[in-house]
Amino acid sequence: MIRAVIFDLWETLVDWPADEANALRRTLAERAGLPLEEVDRRLGEYYLASQTRPLAEVYRLLGVPEHEIEAHVGARVELTRRMLRPRAGVIETLAELRRRCLRVGLISMCSEDVPVAWPETELAGLFDVETFSSRCGLAKPDAAIYLHTSDALGVEPTACLFVGDGANDELAGAERVGMTPVLVTPPGREPLWTEVRGWRGLRVRSIPEVLALC
């Protein structure tokens, strides 16, 4: 019996701001005096650090001058504050899940701008538990981040749905701890991530469809 539903954030509840993120990458490259390809290489090399450590540390690793780091962190937080807009039906679905007395959680692989901006967004206060990788230092698909969240919810992993777009091998990670994984793929789109292109498990086209699985 399902007693809790845990959601991913980007490309699940909220659209990833690809154009804005790319513009920010270009600005970082200019400020660091590096080719964009080198910034991309470093972003890949330090991806885990970017999701589990302060942004200022990451920008130092990318080569951003020390006197410009604070401004870059502020720009990233402001972008995230603007972009954390829930997809259609998300707020209503979260409210209905809680009306049904189901626990509602969030697990997000994200840099620290997300938890910093979070209190000023429409999503704040809609979850019983929010797990941000940059705050807890845990990462998907490691079992610890799922177990940390289910423990905080007070629900066994086997009684949890985990809903996500499949990034960071998150669905397999959820399944390994006993959760029931659900792939979300909007109509007319193929999954973004190679590891879920042949997904044969549960799938929804929008967040409101999750209600039928509970």
- Over residues 192-203, the pLDDT tens digits come to 788 888 899 999
Q: Structure pTM?
A: 0.93
Q: How many domains does the chain have?
A: 2
How much is the pLDDT for 20? 83
Judge if 77 and 100 occupy the same domain.
no
B/e letters for 117-150, b = 16+ CB within 10 Å, e = fewer, are bbeebebeebbbbbbbbbbbebbbbeeebbebbb
Q: Name the average pLDDT for the chain.
A: 93
How much is the pLDDT for 150? 98
Q: State which residues form the domain around 94.
A: 4-15+84-213
Average pLDDT, integer, range 119-135: 96
Per-residue pLDDT of 61-80, as tens digits, reads 888 889 889 988 998 899 89
How much is the pLDDT for 179? 98
Judge if 43 and 124 occupy the same domain.
no
96 Cβ neighbours under 8 A, 6+ residues apart: 211
Judge if 151 and 203 occupy the same domain.
yes
User: Is the per-residue pLDDT at 208 higher than 90?
Assistant: yes
Judge if 147 and 127 occupy the same domain.
yes
